[in-house]
Amino acid sequence: MNHMLSGKDTLKRLWNHFSFSLDSISERVRFQKTIYLLSKIGFPNLEAYERSFKMYLYGPYSPELAKDAFDLIESKDIPTESISFSDEESIALTLFSDLIGALPKYEGRPLYAPYELLSDIIYWTSSEPAISNEDLFERIKNKKPYFNSRSEFDVAFDLLTEKGLI
């Protein structure tokens, strides 16, 4: 149904659904990681963004996605009505919610921490397929001072493996 939409049009449809905002670093990180994860899950029409992500301080980041998001805000072209999604889109949104919901929220950590953990695991395992589980854990732990839970990493890794995302 919506396979002819551009990435920017798809972004507009997702904006309202997720109540995105770019008012803070935390909200920007959540926005970037949400779109990254949805692109990896297979949400339609996000392929151009998927190819543009590179590793930055807070995990995978797309300058093109940031530009399009700020353009949307500036143009005030964000839908306010409820959006209906195709079956394919709904399946991807459900999988995304299941992934985020499966990870614990810890007091004192950024709210985007689960998004960042999942994104980093997917990014590093796809860009370095031979990376060991232990090296991946150490890389993420060293990059993010608030993250040091091996059990949380294992839950995220196993979940992504089970869902066929790594």
Taking only the tens place, the pLDDT of each residue in 109-166 is 888 889 999 999 999 999 999 999 999 999 999 988 778 788 889 999 999 999 999 9
The pLDDT of 91-110, averaged and rounded, is 88
pLDDT, tens digit, 9 for 90 and up, residues 21-79: 999 999 999 999 999 999 999 999 999 898 999 999 889 999 999 999 999 888 887 77
Whether the pLDDT of residue 1 is over 50: the answer is no
Res 4 pLDDT > 80: no
pTM of the model as a whole: 0.91
> Does pLDDT of 102 surpass 80?
yes
**Looking at residue 20, what is its pLDDT?**
93
Per residue, the 3-state secondary structure of 33-93, as one string, reads HHHHHHHHHCCCCCHHHHHHCEEECCEEECHHHHHHHHHHHHHCCCCCCCCCCCHHHHHHH
User: How far is Cα of residue 93 from the mean position of the Cα atoms in its chain?
Assistant: 11
Q: Which residues contact 48 (CB under 8 A, 6 or more apart)?
A: 7, 64
Q: Where are the domains of the chain?
A: 7-161
